[in-house]
Structures are given as structure tokens and as C-alpha cells.
A and B are shown apart, each in its own frame.
Chain A
């Protein structure tokens, strides 16, 4: 079982403003520490044109991390292919895989925020088709052979990419899933890894993972290509009381910021109690893994009894976190939870 640490977006939100340069300095430091304590990979997250400065290009940041570490995997969680030029992506991702000596992991997603598509002047409703065509283009480019491609959105003639990724045929690809049956089916059909978001219930994860696996097998993909990952918000501490306090001080303000900003919860009535009563909020609180190392281990086991998965991403980094508290959580997770699952498959 592999443990991925995520997700960093280097945001400076209204409720907890930070210096962006400071956030970029810290993310590298945190990745170095994650490698030291024993996480398998470290993941960043992308958006564009957001007021909080959400990181718009993960690759140079991952490159900085790669140059300061030697073993830990570096991941895009997710790289928004619906917004990118797949040819430039193929170049940039291949170079990063070479630079990092083959440590790149690719989480890919179409993107969904209207502003991003408007900003780059791309029809949002085409994003699903763009996404799969872009994956196709990148795979062709990464063969290292001369390739041509004529699709709905992209056209290339007789190109040859150099360098190609060090990992052959290409770095592992995961797709960040939304809640729909359709997307689970499409990810399965394409034979890519299925990576489930942080707020889905166990029931929904079980259903969608089942749909995904069935679609992948029906499309004839080998068992080795069929893989599920689980992504959860985690607050871990020596005592449950302390873990709940971390949830209260770090995790909930992150969702508070997002959900009020997204308009799910009216700001005027935004007391913590009222927000917690809101269905979206209840869902996230229920889906989060909050507790002692033993409690976290039991939760992961419970999910694994329902769906077999070999990749778990705890998001420990939330908002307004103090470094000592964050590093303590990384240590606790790495000392107790990771060894429990090592060798398990």
C-alpha cells in the first residue's frame, strides 16, 4: 500500500492571508520533510485565475521539490487537462519525469470551474471530450516515435518529442473522479487509475469503484491497470480530543472558506453551528478521517473491506496550519499508520 501526501495549492485565502512567496518556500520544505518521515509521494493541486492565488502550474513547483529530494514521488493532483495544450503538457511532463529521475505521478482531471475556461477562452462544455483526446495526444507523443493526430480539438503532423518520459511507456495516470456513474465508467473504459474525491461517502465510493472496475474489465484492460485510490481529509493526534480540536481549527475553516465562497452556505448565517448543520458540510465532516492513529487505521481498513485500493492520500495540509502541528501529524501518520499497511496488498 502506498501513501500519498496532499494536497498543496499555495493559496492565500481571505480568512488566513499569507505571503505567496512564503507558501512556495514552505511547500518545498514540507515535501523534504514528507520524504524524511516516509511518505511515498507528495501532491500539488491546480486552479487558475482564483483570487487566492491557487497554483496555476504545478510542474515548476514539483521540479523544485524533485531537485531537493531523492526518493519521494511527485504528483499532480490534478493537472487540469481540459485547459491545457496537450502538446506542451506532453513536453513539460516528460521533461519533469526526466528531471526527477522518473518520479512523476500524473493525476489528471478535466477541470470544472467556469472562470478557468472563460479565462483561457475554451468552451467548458467540451471539457470531457477534450480531456480524453488530450490524454490520447500525450500518450502518442510519449512513444518517442514520429506521430500524427487528427481529432476533434487537436491536429498534429509528423512530430517527434524529445525527451520522452523516463518511465516507460509513461508515468502512472490517475483521474480525479467526480460523483457520477458516467465518469466512473469513462475512467474505466480508458484504463486509467480511479482516484476518489474527499467528500464522497463510503457507499458512493463503493458504488463508483464497482462501476469503474466493471467498465475497465469490460474494455479488456489488464488487472494491473485497474487501480483505485482513496483521498481523505485527515486530522491525526495522540488523543481523539486533540484530533477534534485540529479539525475544528484547521480543517473546518478550509471548508468554511470554500463553501461560503461558493455560495453553498450563506455568509450572513455563517456561524459554525449553522454551517455544520448544512448537508454539504455534514458530508465532509462524516467523510473525514479524524482521530488517533488506531482510529485512522481502522477507518482505512473499513474502507478497504468494501473496496480494494492500494493508494491512500491523506490531506493533512488544510488552512491556517502551524508548522509544528502539521509536521507532528505527518510524523504520527508515518510512524503508526504507514507501517501498519506496509507489505499489505
Chain B
């Protein structure tokens, strides 16, 4: 079982850009340390125009980390593909993959923030259809030298005889550009999304799963799922049961398929210490989720219940045992820990990371 780190929208701003310099700096330092300590993966959740949220630009953060780390895999989480032209996501993650020499993970989602869709002028009620088409487009882009694509929302190129009501007259293939394509042996009526990523056939795509719709979509495209961070252990187990059944029904092999889960984790010498440091900051974050009814079923947010259902706060043995249980129940093979939420100081996060790396990573691997 692999271990990773997760950072999400709880990278709270409000302190202006000088404070953001420190917040970004701490996050990058933590991930760079994790790279040295042997963590496998770091994911950063992307969201836009959520008040106080600082992670609108995950590609920048991943780029910085690609330059400063050597081994750790680097990915987005829940990137809402519908918010931009899908060629841009294919380009961006090819660049991350090249910068990191094959360590990129494209974590995507249908999106759930109406504010973000409104900001980017994309109809919220089309988000699933747009998301699914974008997934399809990106798979084409990453596995074709040159292609054309005529979807419901995406035409690539804009005007070709196949996909345009009015085919192009002389653009886009006028001199002096046409020869460029012919020399490369490409059909002028197609375009290629370049450069190509390092990983073959392409960087892994992890689909954020809130419910069974998302699971079904991931199965259709043959991608891994990444259960949404705020789900309970039981909900995660349920999603993986649906995923396993769906993959089997679709005749897709589960061999080598990653089964990640994001959990809130704090590792200390004793459980009492872990709870003393991380309990209240995490409870406060989940109180916000509960207020927004994001936990489902009107769940309350008492710390005891949150610890029983979601949080992994404990000494190394307890953390290990909890993940072993998830592995047995849901077939999890990759635990991605959020060690930091607002209110947990950088130094405390570093202690938790070090302890986890020293006492838990290797035991989970074997």
C-alpha cells in the first residue's frame, strides 16, 4: 500500500498575498520533505472562486514541485475539466509530466461549485456531459499524433470539413503554416496536441467520486476513482464496492488499478497528543461541511463521531491498523493523507509527517 499527501481548499486565505507567500511556501516545503521521506504521491485539490480559497492554480503549484522534488508523484484532485477547453488540460498535464519526468497524475471531477461555473461562464447543468466529453477528448489528445474531434461542446480544429457547417476556406492551413505539418507527416486537416507526456499511454486519470454516477463514469472510461475527501469510511467502502462490481461488469481488469482514498490524518506519539493538536482544527473544517450539508444525512460534526467515521488521529500503530482495515474492506491500495488544515501549525505537520514516514510508510508497503 502506498502513502501520499493531500492539500485541498482548506488552504485558507484572507491574509492577502504576503500571507499566501507563507502558506504556499509551507505547503511546498512539506511536500519537498515528503519527497525525501519516501511518500509516493502529493495531490492538490483545485477549486475556483470559493471565498478564501487559494488553490485556483494547481498547475503552478505542481510545476514548482516538479522542479524541486525528485521522486514523489504530483497530481491535481477534482480539477473541473468542464471549465476550460480540454486541450488546455491535456497540454498542462503533459508539461507537468515532462517537467517531473513522468510523475504527473491528472485528478479530475465533474465539479460541484456553482460559483466556479458561473465565474467561467459554463452552464452548471451541463457539467457532467461536458466533463465526460473532456475526458474523451483528452484520451484522444494523449494517444493520437494528430486527430480531429467533433463533439457536442468541443470542435478540434474549429473548422474542418467533418465538423463544421461551413468548412474552412483557406485557414487554418494556409501558407506559411501548412508546410510545417506536412513535413512532420501529419494530415493538414488534423491537429496534434503537443508536447506528448512522458508516461505511456498517458498520465493516470483519477476521477473524483462523490456518488455512484461518478463511479459509473470512471468505469466507462476505465479510470481510477478518487473518493471525495469528506466522505466517511463507510461511504468510501460503498463506492469501491460499486466500482469493483462496475469494472467486473464492464469486463475491465482490476489488476494494477490504483484504489486511492483521501483521509484526514494526524500521527503523534500518543492518540491523546494527536487529538489535542488536530482534533479541533479538523472539527472546525467539518463543521463548515456539515453546515453546507456536504456530509450528507444531516450528519452532526461531533469530534467523537468524526473520528469514528472519518478522521485517522492516533499513534503510528493506530494509524496503521485503521488503514489495514480500509484495505481489507475496500481494497484500498493508496492512502493519501491530509496532514494540514488551518489551525495545525507547520512545525506540527512536519512532526506528523516524519513520524508517519518513520513508522507507518514501510509497514503499509509490506
| CB-CB contacts below 8 Å: B152-188 with A | 154-159, 168, 171-181, 183-184, 186
Given contacts A59-B63, A67-B67, A95-B60, contact A163 B177 (CB under 8 A): no
Is B95 an interface residue, CB under 8 A from the partner? yes
Q: Please tell me if B66 contacts chain A, counting CB pairs below 8 Å.
A: yes
Using known A-B contacts A120-B85, A121-B85, determine if residue A52 contacts B194 with beta carbons closer than 8 Å: yes
Which of B52, B53, B178 has the most chain A CB atoms inside 10 A of its CB? Answer: B178
B17 with A164: CB separation less than 8 A: yes
Determine the chain A residues whose CB is within 8 A of the CB of B193 once the complex forms: 49, 119
* Min CB gap B241→A, angstroms: 37
CA gap between A215 and B59 in the complex, in Å: 38
Task: Tell me the complex Cα distance, A66–B181, Å.
Answer: 34
Contact of B181 among A51, A65, A92 (CB under 8 A): A51
Partner of B194, one of A56, A62, A163: A56
The 0/1 profile, CB within 8 Å of B marked 1, for residues 1-28 of chain A is 0000000001010100000110111001
Closest to B188 in A: A115
Contacts of A161 in B (CB 8 A): 49, 56
Number of interface residues of B (CB under 8 A): 73
* Chain A interface residue bracket vs B: 35 or more
Contact status A118-B192, CB under 8 Å: no
Question: Is B63 a contact partner of A262 (Cβ separation < 8 A)?
Answer: no
- In the bound complex, residues from chain A placing their C-beta under 8 Å from that of B62 are 60
- Find out whether the CB atom of A59 lies under 8 angstroms from the CB atom of B192: no
Determine if A56 and B60 form an interchain contact, defined as CB atoms under 8 angstroms apart.
no
- Measured CB to CB, the nearest residue on chain B to A31 is B67
**CB within 8 Å for A115 and B172 given contacts A53-B195, A63-B60:** yes
| Whole-angstrom distance between the Cβ of B343 and the nearest chain A Cβ | 19
In the complex, how many angstroms separate the beta carbon of A29 from the nearest chain B beta carbon? Answer: 10
Beyond known contacts A53-B196, A88-B84: 16 more, CB 8 A cutoff: A20-B98, A56-B194, A56-B195, A59-B60, A60-B64, A65-B67, A92-B56, A92-B59, A98-B24, A114-B177, A115-B191, A121-B155, A121-B157, A164-B16, A262-B175, A263-B179
B interface with A by C-beta (< 8 Å): 13-14, 16-18, 20-21, 24, 28, 48-49, 51-54, 56-57, 59-68, 83-85, 87-88, 91-92, 94-96, 98-99, 101-102, 118-121, 154-159, 168, 171-181, 183-184, 186, 191-196, 198
